[in-house]
């Protein structure tokens, strides 16, 4: 499940940065070319699994399982590569956004894309099943095996869909003031808290419904587990049977954060094959996860990934901006250049997310598991029954007990540490201190990240640095300053990004003296005059004059949006509504449509407020 988390986050970030315009694709691919890429992926995956199957008799069971696990993960990673290729080489995202209902609820487009990616993963699981069955790792049918793998993705998809989908639906409610309140910093914080509360309260029930969990029937095992929960002062909503892959896997879990909405899960194999003492030890381990707040910490550690990634990018962006400005042909259109930088940011954030989850998140997962192992000592006099349970798991799984993975220590590593604690309980305190210290370091880094981001954003400091770097790169080009004359609004754009409004206006006005009919310069200067926060720099009449000229030359959606804003600040609300409606009908980009709709709501409120 944790590997699925990495893959889905990588796909979501890639989709977010994929081009929404067909003009920005890296090739002239057609939508149906996705079928070619999918077919190529299936052929490659099929050949690799067939090659593995031919060599099964030549290796031991442990070796075969190790190689098969690696092969399956490699093919899942290859699925990410092929799917991202679909995003950047074919107009998949523009095609999805052209569907009427999706243009209003953008989360649906990402969800459809995720389902398509899930199709690649289903193909991998479908091919891997016969190999795992041959090696005795699954006793369920291929169809059930694939279904169970898909169900393991539910804890990732359900919260994400709920969080962003509900927000999209709320934004369909008309009203500029409502949209502004929801999208403000305070509104987003309130929304986050409400959705996190909903996730904690109802999220587990929804996931467990998809998993098909049912209560452990009354009997000695249930009575013993309930007695242990009382002894450990542990509250949960229910103890459930977990039908994971037919219940044949020896495993258990605790799911949920709030005590009354938390569940203990046990597979049938665990209930059937664990001795009473071993069952106590396994349950104590799961109670340890809850007592140490590991699930809440998981969410917070993943949440810390985004600000950390953006901060690192803020530093890396400077050399990227310099090199791209220094060497990218100036003939590249401004929109293409901006998308080029956006692509670089997207590639970095995908890489950062994978590395962060693999190493930082993986580090805490491994150490939280060990901390839960050691919590057994707070409930039971000895953790030796957990050792015998680990040995059973190793024996019946057929896997090497020496082999760790990125999110768990190897079983022998866990056994060795428990045996050290049996002889000297100080090792328990040492590990708990290690986890506490690691969490404190993470908190310090996270707070430092937020402070650093605030410092970079303060008074446009980061944008001023970007402006200086861009100008330095242009001066280093033999043709740099000459090319500025060919792109008259570029210097004004850079000053505007750096929040130097006076210099931006001056640069735009000078650019118009050289190229009086440049629609981009007319539009940007009109928008600056219309929306400038400094009242002394606002010029509503000049804004309307410039916007009208820009629309005559190039009646594109973003220029119509500027004209509508110019009408609005001049009190011409009916004209603003009419013009903004035209812009909204012409704009294919979902993000821009949302912004344009907010503007239209504002104009409608102003117009209707004047009517008796």
pLDDT tens-digit profile of 307-339? 888 888 888 888 887 887 777 765 555 556 666
Select from 273, 300, 333 the last residue of a domain. Answer: 273
Q: What is the pLDDT of residues 59-87, one digit of tens each?
A: 888 888 889 989 999 999 999 999 988 88
The pLDDT, as a whole number, for residue 97 is: 79
Q: How far apart are CA 350 and CA 115, in angstroms?
A: 19
**Is residue 612's pLDDT more than 50?**
no
* 405 confidence band (pLDDT: 50, 70, 90): confident
Distance CA 144, CA 129 (A): 10
- Kindly state whether residues 310 and 217 are assigned to the same domain: no
CB distance 473 to 325 below 8 Å: yes
pTM: 0.80
203 and 301: one domain?
no
pLDDT at 511 (0 to 100):
83
In a domain, 494, yes or no: no
Residue 495 lies in a domain: no
Residue 575 lies in a domain: yes
166 & 23 share domain? yes
Could you give the number of structural domains in the chain? Answer: 4
State the Cα–Cα distance between residues 504 and 526, nearest whole angstrom: 12
Reported confidence tier of residue 185, pLDDT bands at 50, 70, 90: low
Same domain flag for 466 and 522: no
In this structure, are 147 and 228 located in the same domain?
no
Residues 369 and 381 in one domain: yes
Structure tokens at 60: 């031991």
What string of H, E and C letters represents the secondary structure of 273-339?
A: HCCHHHHHHHHHHHHHHHHCCHHHHHHHHHHCHHHHHHHHHHHHHHHHHHHHHHHCCCCCCHHHHHH
Q: Is 506 among the domain residues?
A: no
Neighbour count for residue 238 (Cβ, 10 Å): 14
Alpha-carbon distance 270 to 249, whole Å? 7
Rounded to the nearest angstrom, the gap between the alpha carbon of residue 377 and the centroid of all alpha carbons in its chain is: 37
Banded pLDDT at 347 (limits 50, 70, 90): confident
Cα gap 5→155, rounded to integer Å: 9
**Pair (11, 125) in one structural domain:** yes
Same domain, 377 and 310: yes
Instruction: Please answer whether residues 25 and 91 qualify as being in contact, where contact means their C-beta atoms are separated by less than 8 angstroms.
Output: yes
Within this chain, do residues 301 and 245 fall inside the same structural domain, yes or no? no
Look up the domain containing 190 and give its range: 173-273
Nearest alpha carbon to residue 16 among 114, 155, 125: 114
Q: Tell me whether residue 475 is in a domain.
A: yes
Evaluate whether residue 493 is within a structural domain. no
d(CA 246, CA 570): 69
**pLDDT at residue 269, rounded to an integer:** 92
Mean pLDDT of the chain: 86
CA distance 441 to 448: 10
pLDDT digits (tens, 9 = 90+) for 83-104: 988 888 888 888 887 787 777 7
> Does the residue 605 lie in any domain?
yes
Contact 283, 264 (CB under 8 A): yes
* Tokens, residue 160: 């994400």
CA distance linking residue 404 with residue 406, whole number of Å: 7
CA-based diameter of the chain, in Å? 89
DSSP 11: H
Structural contact between residues 15 and 84, judged by C-beta atoms closer than 8 angstroms:
no
């Amino acid at each position: 499940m944790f590997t699925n988390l990495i893959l889905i986050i990588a796909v979501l970030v890639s989709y977010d940065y994929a081009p929404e315009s067909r003009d920005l694709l890296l090739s002239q691919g057609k939508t149906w070319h996705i079928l070619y890429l999918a077919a190529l992926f299936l052929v490659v995956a099929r050949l690799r699994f067939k090659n593995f199957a031919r060599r099964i008799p030549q290796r031991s069971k442990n070796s075969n399982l190790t190689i098969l696990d690696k092969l399956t993960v490699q093919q899942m990673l290859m699925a990410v590569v092929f799917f991202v290729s679909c995003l950047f080489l074919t107009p998949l995202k523009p095609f999805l956004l052209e569907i009427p209902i999706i243009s209003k609820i953008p989360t649906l487009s990402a969800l459809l894309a995720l389902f398509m990616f899930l199709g690649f993963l289903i193909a991998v699981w479908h091919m891997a099943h016969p190999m795992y069955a041959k090696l005795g790792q699954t006793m369920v049918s291929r169809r059930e095996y694939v279904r169970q793998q898909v169900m393991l993705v539910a804890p990732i998809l359900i919260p994400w869909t709920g969080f962003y989908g509900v927000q999209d639906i709320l934004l369909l409610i008309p009203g500029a003031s409502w949209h502004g309140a929801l999208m403000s910093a305070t509104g987003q914080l309130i929304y986050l808290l409400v959705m996190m509360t909903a996730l904690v309260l109802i999220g587990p029930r929804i996931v467990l419904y998809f998993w098909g969990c049912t209560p452990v029937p009354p009997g000695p095992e249930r009575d013993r587990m309930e007695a242990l929960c009382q002894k450990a002062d542990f509250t949960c909503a229910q103890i459930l049977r977990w039908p994971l892959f037919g219940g044949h896997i020896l495993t258990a879990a605790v799911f949920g954060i709030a005590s009354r909405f938390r569940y203990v899960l046990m597979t049938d194999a665990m209930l059937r094959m664990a001795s009473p003492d071993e069952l106590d030890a396994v349950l104590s381990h799961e109670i340890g996860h809850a007592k140490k707040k590991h699930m809440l910490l998981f969410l917070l550690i993943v949440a810390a990934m985004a600000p950390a990634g953006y901060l690192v990018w803020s530093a890396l962006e400077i050399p990227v901006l310099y090199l791209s400005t220094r060497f990218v042909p100036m003939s590249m259109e401004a929109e293409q250049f901006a998308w080029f930088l956006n692509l670089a940011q997207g590639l970095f954030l995908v890489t950062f997310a994978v590395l962060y989850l693999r190493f930082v998140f993986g580090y805490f997962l491994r150490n939280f598991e060990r901390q839960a192992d050691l919590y057994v000592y707070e409930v039971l006099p000895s953790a030796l029954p957990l050792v015998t349970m680990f040995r059973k798991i190793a024996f019946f799984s057929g896997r090497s007990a020496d082999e760790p993975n990125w999110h768990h220590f190897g079983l022998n590593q866990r056994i060795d540490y428990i045996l050290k604690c049996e002889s000297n309980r100080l090792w328990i305190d040492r590990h708990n201190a290690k986890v506490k210290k690691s969490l404190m370091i993470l908190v310090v880094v996270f707070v430092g990240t937020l402070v650093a981001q605030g410092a970079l954003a303060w008074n446009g400091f980061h944008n001023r640095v970007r402006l200086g770097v861009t100008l330095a790169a242009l001066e280093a080009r033999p043709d740099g300053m000459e090319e500025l004359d060919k792109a008259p609004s570029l210097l004004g754009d850079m000053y505007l990004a750096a929040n130097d409004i006076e210099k931006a206006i001056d640069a735009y006005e000078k650019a118009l003296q050289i190229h009086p009919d440049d629609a981009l310069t007319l539009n940007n200067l009109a928008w600056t005059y219309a929306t400038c926060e400094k009242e002394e720099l606002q010029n509503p009449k000049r804004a309307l004059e410039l916007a009208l000229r820009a629309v005559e030359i190039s009646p594109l959606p973003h220029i119509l949006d500027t004209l509508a804003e110019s009408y609005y600040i001049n009190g011409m609300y009916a004209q603003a509504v009419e013009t903004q409606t035209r812009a909204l009908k012409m704009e294919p980009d979902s993000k821009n449509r949302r912004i344009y709709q907010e503007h239209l709501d504002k104009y409608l409120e102003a117009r209707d407020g004047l009517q008796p």
